[in-house]
Amino acid sequence: MLQLAPYAAHPDQTRGRRTQETAPAYRSEYQRDRDRIVHSAAFRRLEYKTQVFVNHEGDMFRTRLTHSIEVAQIARSVARALALNEDLAEAVSLAHDLGHTPFGHAGQDVLNACMREYGGFEHNLQSLRVVDELEERYAEFQGLNLTFETREGILKHCSPGKARELGDLGARFLNKTQPSLEAQLANLADEIAYNNHDVDDGLRAGLITIEQLNEIELFREQYNLVTRSYPALPERRTVHEVIRRMINRQITDLLEASRDRIAGAAPADIESVRTQSSPLIGFGAEMREQGLELKRFLRENLYRHYRVIRMTAKAGRILRALFEAFMEEPGLLPPEPANRLKTAVAPGVLPPATLVRPCTAEQILGMTGRARIITDYIAGMTDRYAIAEYDRVFNPSYLS
Ligand code: MG
Kindly report, residue by residue over 337-377, the tens digit of the pLDDT. Answer: 998 888 766 544 444 555 555 566 666 667 888 999 999 99
What's the CA-to-centroid distance between 53 and ligand 1, angstroms?
Answer: 14
Nearest Cα to 113, choosing from 320, 326, 381?
Answer: 320
**Which of the listed ranges 48-62, 73-87, 106-120 does the model predict with the highest average pLDDT?**
73-87
pLDDT in the model for residue 343: 75
Distance 114 CA to ligand 1 centre (A): 23
Per-residue confidence (pLDDT) for residue 50, from 0 to 100? 83
Q: Is 104 helix (H, G, I), strand (E, B) or coil?
A: helix
Q: Provide the pLDDT for residue 348.
A: 46
Distance 139 CA to ligand 1 centre (A): 30
Query: Which of 69-83, 192-206, 343-357 is the least confident region?
Result: 343-357
Taking alpha carbons only, the member of 175, 89, 159, 167 closest to residue 132 is: 167
Residue 17, SS3 per DSSP: strand
**Residues paired with residue 17 on neighbouring β-strands, in sequence order:** 147
Give the model's pLDDT for residue 350.
47
Whose CA is closest to 192, among 59, 288, 262, 273?
Answer: 288
What spacing in Å lies between the alpha carbon of 12 and ligand 1's midpoint?
28
Alpha-carbon distance of 400 to 396, in angstroms, equals 9
Question: Does residue 99 surpass a pLDDT of 70?
Answer: yes
94 C-alpha to ligand 1 centroid (Å): 9
**Is 26-306 a CATH 3.40.50.300 domain?**
no
CA distances from 128 to 64, 90, 96, 108, 143 (A): 16, 16, 9, 15, 10
Cβ-count burial of 12 within 10 angstroms (0-12 exposed, 13-18 middle, 19+ buried)?
A: exposed
**Is residue 299 predicted with pLDDT exceeding 50?**
yes
Query: Measured between alpha carbons, how far is 32 from 16 in angstroms, rounded to an integer?
Result: 12
Q: Check residue 318 and give its pLDDT.
A: 96
Residue ranges, comma separated, of all CATH 1.10.3210.10 domains in the chain are 26-306
Q: Is the pLDDT of residue 53 over 80?
A: no
* 187 CA → ligand 1 middle, Å: 8
DSSP-derived 3-state class of residue 221: helix
Look at residue 385 and tell me whether its pLDDT is greater than 80: yes
Q: Is the pLDDT assigned to residue 266 strictly greater than 60?
A: yes
> Ligand 1: distance of its center to the CA of 306 in Å?
23
Q: How close is the Cα of 220 to the center of ligand 1, in Å? A: 25
pLDDT at 52: 72
Distance 227 CA to ligand 1 centre (A): 31
In the reported structure, the alpha carbon of residue 100 is separated from the centroid of ligand 1 by a whole-number distance in angstroms of 9
